[in-house]
């Protein structure tokens, strides 16, 4: 299913565009399909990636990588998601890159989410919400999340080393489970002192492109951010 939606996404790329590139396995699958077009059609593409991992992948396939601090317009961008509900609200952040991913989503003229149908859920509570925070504020952030209805808060451990995972910005991540996901929750999490960003994306996606057994499905939405 991932390959199907990746191929569909790659068809939309046009020569000369500046694209925003998310992070994750579905994004990498799309980049492989884009690579095929770059080689075959000699496309000239510039990209703004959201992580070192994505930047390296883009360089590997011959795309011109710009710095995340580039201030010019971005034609459109794409990314994956860990869960998508019926409102086109998202939970992202398993790859610990949600800060740059949300910045990208806010900057793009059009932001497309690519997923397989297993990521479509009735209730976002099936996934914990990642919350990136500065280490000095751990107790303040934990208390604030509980006040907002978090029933379980876990410091995300690193893989391959002892201790917690550290984001590219040098921060830590709590994975928080909530009693309820509601429209104001994203902003309320962000208002906690010490929180850098959360993996709750409400109103950022212009389109959800879904790959499933029956083929490709496009779900449009109105961007409110």
Residue pLDDT, tens place only, 94-143: 999 999 999 999 999 999 999 999 999 999 999 999 999 999 999 999 99
What is the average per-residue pLDDT within 178-192?
97
Q: Scanning the structure block, which residue is given the tokens 């610990």?
A: 96
- Domains assigned to the chain: 2-119+202-220 (3.40.50.1360), 124-198 (3.30.70.260)
Residue 223's pLDDT is: 55
Q: Which residues lie closer than 8 Å to 12 by C-beta, 6 or more apart?
A: 112
- Given pLDDT bands bounded at 50, 70 and 90, which one contains residue 222? low
Angle (nearest 5°) at CA 201 between 166 and 154: 40
pTM reported for the whole predicted model: 0.93
- Given pLDDT bands bounded at 50, 70 and 90, which one contains residue 214? confident
DSSP conformational letter for 88? -
d(C-alpha 80, C-alpha 136), whole Å: 30
Instruction: Give the length of the chain.
Output: 225
Sheet holding 200-201, edge to edge: 83-84, 90-91, 200-201
Residue pLDDT, tens place only, 140-153: 999 999 999 999 99
Residue 160's pLDDT is: 82
The residues carrying an active-site annotation are 101
d(C-alpha 175, C-alpha 52), whole Å: 22
What is the average per-residue pLDDT within 154-179?
95
Asked if the model's pLDDT at residue 201 lies above 70, the reply is yes
The runs of H, that is alpha helices, within the chain are 2-11, 25-41, 52-60, 98-107, 138-147, 185-190
What is the average per-residue pLDDT within 23-38?
96
């Amino acid at each position: 299913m991932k390959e199907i939606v990746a191929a569909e996404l790659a068809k939309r790329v046009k020569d000369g565009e500046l694209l925003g590139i998310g992070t994750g396995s579905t994004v990498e699958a799309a980049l492989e399909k884009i690579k095929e077009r770059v080689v075959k059609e000699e496309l000239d593409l510039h990209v703004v990636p959201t992580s070192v991992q994505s930047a390296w992948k883009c360089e590997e396939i011959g795309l011109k990588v710009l710095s995340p601090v580039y201030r010019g317009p971005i034609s459109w961008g794409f990314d994956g998601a860990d869960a998508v509900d019926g409102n086109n609200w998202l939970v992202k952040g398993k790859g610990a890159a949600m800060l740059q991913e949300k910045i990208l989503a806010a900057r793009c003229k059009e932001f497309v989410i690519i997923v397989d149908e297993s990521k479509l859920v009735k209730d976002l509570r099936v996934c914990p919400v990642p919350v990136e925070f500065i280490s000095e504020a751990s107790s303040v952030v934990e208390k604030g999340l509980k006040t907002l209805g978090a029933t379980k808060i876990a410091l995300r451990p690193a893989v391959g080393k002892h201790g917690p995972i550290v984001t590219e910005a040098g921060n830590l991540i709590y994975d928080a489970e909530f009693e309820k996901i509601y429209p104001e929750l994203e902003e309320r999490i962000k208002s906690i002192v010490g929180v850098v960003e959360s993996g709750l994306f409400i109103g950022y996606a212009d389109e959800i492109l879904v790959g499933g057994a029956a083929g490709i499905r496009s779900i449009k939405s109105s961007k409110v951010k």
